[in-house]
């Protein structure tokens, strides 16, 4: 029995040395020390021993049991350490590796020009108003004195949302005039920047989606002089003190009188070149004195108040500002182009 115990012990120690996981260790424990384990089985035969042998074997058995338990514990500690080391190696984090650079974008050239324009107008006491891009035809047309039958109301000019033509993508920012005047009594001084839509084919100077900044001033005694002074101030701040402007008579249904404003060509200084198509001038915006019908339609008495309005193309302002000769570049999102501003 003594040899049996010693043999079991050797086997147990060998099995432990080979065990390489907590599960394997547990299997060894069950095999030798468990209720049906080898050592337990040997001890069950103690009854067949003589009275002298029993305490000797009993002591030996306890000793062996304690040895195996100790060996189990030691082996468990080693395995735990190995597992920890392996995990640390697996999850190693090299804090000296340079991080993945986050590429920082910057403002689009149109955003830069828009921010400049906003600052100029805020400096002159204007505030910013916004209106919806999906607009009621009542606001974009009827209330702006654009009656049914007017050419801009044609399907080929306008992106209608509803079959009955009562809702469409606004083709100008002018409906914001109506929306503001409906809610606010004079004095009014606002600009309203935003996207507008027309059924134009894409080329160097056209896009079915572009941007305007609408301006509106309504107060007592507002004249064409205020209009010219305000727009000249804008142009000089944007393009330099010496930039010349030209006010040409024009027609808009919602202003009377109306004009278009040109700036002298930045490329040739007015001599005429490819950029200005030989004109010496580049058209920048439309403007005029708010039509009395538009004022009274919004509940403002045209005998008491007058006002001016203008609509400037932000895209065109940006092209002029940076001497860019193709509008498509603004919408292509080519980083090589955008990074230059």
How do strand 188-197 and strand 127-128 relate by DSSP bridges?
parallel
To the nearest whole angstrom, how small is the minimum distance from the Cβ of residue 144 to ligand PHE? 8
- The footprint of ligand PHE (CB under 6 A) covers 172, 174, 214, 252, 255, 258, 286-288, 309-311
Q: Residues 60, 8: contact at Cβ < 8 Å?
A: no
Minimum CB distance to ligand PHE smaller for 218 or for 287: 287
To the nearest whole angstrom, how small is the minimum distance from the Cβ of residue 180 to ligand PHE? 13
Minimum CB distance to ligand PHE smaller for 16 or for 290: 290
Minimum CB distance to ligand PHE smaller for 32 or for 252: 252
Beta partners for residue 169, in sequence order: 134
Distance CA 337, CA 274 (A): 22
318 Cβ contact partners less than 8 Å away, ≥ 6 residues apart = 109, 110, 112, 113, 324, 330
Minimum CB distance to ligand PHE smaller for 309 or for 319: 309
To the nearest whole angstrom, how small is the minimum distance from the Cβ of residue 266 to ligand PHE? 22
Neighbours of 136 (CB within 10 A): 19
To the nearest whole angstrom, how small is the minimum distance from the Cβ of residue 285 to ligand PHE? 7
Q: Residues 329, 315: contact at Cβ < 8 Å?
A: no
Distance CA 235, CA 316 (A): 13
Minimum CB distance to ligand PHE smaller for 19 or for 222: 222
**Which of 147, 125, 153 lies closest to 219, judged by CA?**
125
Neighbours of 99 (CB within 10 A): 6
Tokens 């980083």 belong to 335
Minimum CB distance to ligand PHE smaller for 9 or for 198: 198
To the nearest whole angstrom, how small is the minimum distance from the Cβ of residue 241 to ligand PHE? 26
To the nearest whole angstrom, how small is the minimum distance from the Cβ of residue 267 to ligand PHE? 24
């Amino acid at each position: 029995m003594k040899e049996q115990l010693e043999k079991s012990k050797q086997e147990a120690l060998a099995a432990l040395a080979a065990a390489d996981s907590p599960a394997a260790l547990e299997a060894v424990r069950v095999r030798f020390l468990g209720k049906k384990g080898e050592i337990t089985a040997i001890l069950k035969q103690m009854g067949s021993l003589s009275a002298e042998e029993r305490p000797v074997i009993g002591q030996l058995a306890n000793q062996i049991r304690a040895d195996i338990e100790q060996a189990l514990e030691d082996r468990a500690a080693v395995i735990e350490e190995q597992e920890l080391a392996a995990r640390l190696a697996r999850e190693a984090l090299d804090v000296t590796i340079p991080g993945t650079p986050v590429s920082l974008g910057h403002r689009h050239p149109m955003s830069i020009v828009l921010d400049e324009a906003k600052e100029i107008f805020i400096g002159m006491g204007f505030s910013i108003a916004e209106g919806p891009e999906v607009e009621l035809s009542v606001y974009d047309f009827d209330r702006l004195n654009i009656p049914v039958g007017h050419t801009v109301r044609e399907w080929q000019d306008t992106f209608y949302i509803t079959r009955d033509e009562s809702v469409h993508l606004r083709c100008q920012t002018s409906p914001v005039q109506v929306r503001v005047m409906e809610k606010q009594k004079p004095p009014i001084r606002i600009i309203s920047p935003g996207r507008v839509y027309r059924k134009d084919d894409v080329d160097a100077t056209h896009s079915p989606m572009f941007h305007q900044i609408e301006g509106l001033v309504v107060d007592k005694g507002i004249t064409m002089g205020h209009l010219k002074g305000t727009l000249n101030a804008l142009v000089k701040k944007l393009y330099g003190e010496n930039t010349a402007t030209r006010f040409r008579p024009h027609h808009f249904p919602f202003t009377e009188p109306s004009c278009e404003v040109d700036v002298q060509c930045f490329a040739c200084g007015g001599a005429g070149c490819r950029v200005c198509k030989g004109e010496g001038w580049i058209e920048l915006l439309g403007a005029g004195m708010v039509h009395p019908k538009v004022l009274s339609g919004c509940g403002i008495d045209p005998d008491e108040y007058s006002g001016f309005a203008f609509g400037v193309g932000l895209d065109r302002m940006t092209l002029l500002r940076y001497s860019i000769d193709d509008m498509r570049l603004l919408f292509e999102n080519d980083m090589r182009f955008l990074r230059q501003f």
